[in-house]
Amino acid sequence: MQKYTLYIKDICKSHDKTITACNLLINQYKKYPDTYLIIDFSDCDFIYPDYAILLLCAIKYIEHVGHIVTGTIKLSKNRKVVIYLAKMNFFAHLNVELPLEIPKINKNNAVEIQKYTSENQIQVLESILKVLRTNGSINDNVYAGLDYCFNEILDNVLNHTEEKVGWVVAQYFENLNSIRLIVCDFGLGIHKSLNQRYNFTEEEAMFKCIESGVTNGKGQGHGLYATATFTKLNKGWLSLISGSKKLNVNENETCLDNIDHWQGTCVYVRINTNVEVDYTEFTSQHYDYKKQVFENLFG
């Protein structure tokens, strides 16, 4: 039996480093299916939940292709990160029981790591929006824009996976006036999904997927365009991760980076809750989306 140690300190620095670590882990199981995995939390005192869910999704992919993942969690002296991830359901999804007392998560600040389908997509969206409604005075236009874009993101990821299952986590950071959300899967990926209808190169597919009207035929091709537009206006950040490419979108530029392979699609957004955005820039011109949102909210 091969032993393989994954150091959390190595993945808590960036999405790119996390993707690299996940790719190495997947290749390890391809070569040595009986690998005994050691997840080592030594020398790690902070991690964003979007990094953790990428690792979880990679492990779920390994299990999906038929491997049994067994191993050990190596705790550090500083157990703050472990307790945080436990509250966020990271270990529960790995079927790991920790010898620690785990406090309940504050659902007013975060949406824990969870699997979702079309059946509970609206409930997941509502839990994310509840975090925004509960924390501070978010601008009504920003709230309406987030309602629109987050629903489109959740729907878009399901649109790109044959399994019709996605993984999601979100956290609001009050000191930064921002929310981080990531939705990911291990399905077809953007390139293969769009090429059910087009004949794009992988690079073309990544740029085209944020253009209005570009779709694999299962949607209107508006969700990622709206999210990219919102992100730019909000001075936030959007990353689309799929295959060997990562498209980064912000107010200043849209650029494509090469990354280690990711099986599926990840959509990461960081939105500033205190930067106003005109939601009519990316919603339908035929009806007032904010009016609909607040009518639904207040009945």
For residues 188, 194, 199, 203, the Cα torsion angle rounded to the nearest 10 degrees is -80
Which pLDDT score is estimated for 290?
55
Quick one: average pLDDT of 77-91?
A: 92
Which pLDDT score is estimated for 267?
95
Which pLDDT score is estimated for 140?
79
Which pLDDT score is estimated for 229?
94
Element (H, E) at 65: none
Q: Please give the distance of CA 162 from its chain centroid, rounded to a whole number.
A: 18
Q: Please give the distance of CA 128 from its chain centroid, rounded to a whole number.
A: 13
Between these two residues, 223 and 272, which has the higher pLDDT value? 272
Element (H, E) at 25: helix 15-31
Question: Collapsing DSSP states into helix, strand and coil, what is residue 105?
Answer: coil
| CB proximity list for 208: less than 8 A, separation 6 or greater | 194, 198, 200, 214
Task: Output the pTM of the full model.
Answer: 0.91
Helix axes 140-159, 121-134, angle to 10 degrees: 150
Q: Let me know the angle formed at the C-alpha of 60 by 59 and 65, rounded to the nearest 5 degrees.
A: 100
Where does the pLDDT of residue 297 fall: very low under 50, low under 70, confident under 90, or very high at 90 and above? low
Where does the pLDDT of residue 222 fall: very low under 50, low under 70, confident under 90, or very high at 90 and above? confident
Share of the chain above pLDDT 70, in %: 90
Copy the structure tokens of residue 35.
């690998």
Tell me the C-alpha to C-alpha distance, in Å, between residue 152 and each of 91, 122, 226: 28, 11, 8
Share of the chain above pLDDT 90, in %: 59
Per-residue pLDDT of 269-291, as tens digits, reads 999 988 988 878 877 654 455 55
Reference 216, options 243, 240, 200, 198; nearest CA is: 198
Provide the 8-state DSSP code for 213: T
Per-residue pLDDT of 140-171, as tens digits, reads 788 888 888 888 888 887 876 777 889 999 99
Q: How many CB atoms sit inside 10 A of residue 123's CB?
A: 10
Reference 247, options 188, 205, 277; nearest CA is: 205
Per-residue pLDDT of 179-219, as tens digits, reads 999 999 988 899 998 998 899 999 999 999 999 888 765 65
Provide the 8-state DSSP code for 109: T
Per-residue pLDDT of 85-112, as tens digits, reads 999 999 999 999 888 888 888 888 899 9
Copy the structure tokens of residue 166.
């996605």
Quick one: average pLDDT of 38-43?
A: 94
Which pLDDT score is estimated for 243?
95
Residue reference for tokens 């307790």 = 83
Which pLDDT score is estimated for 283?
74
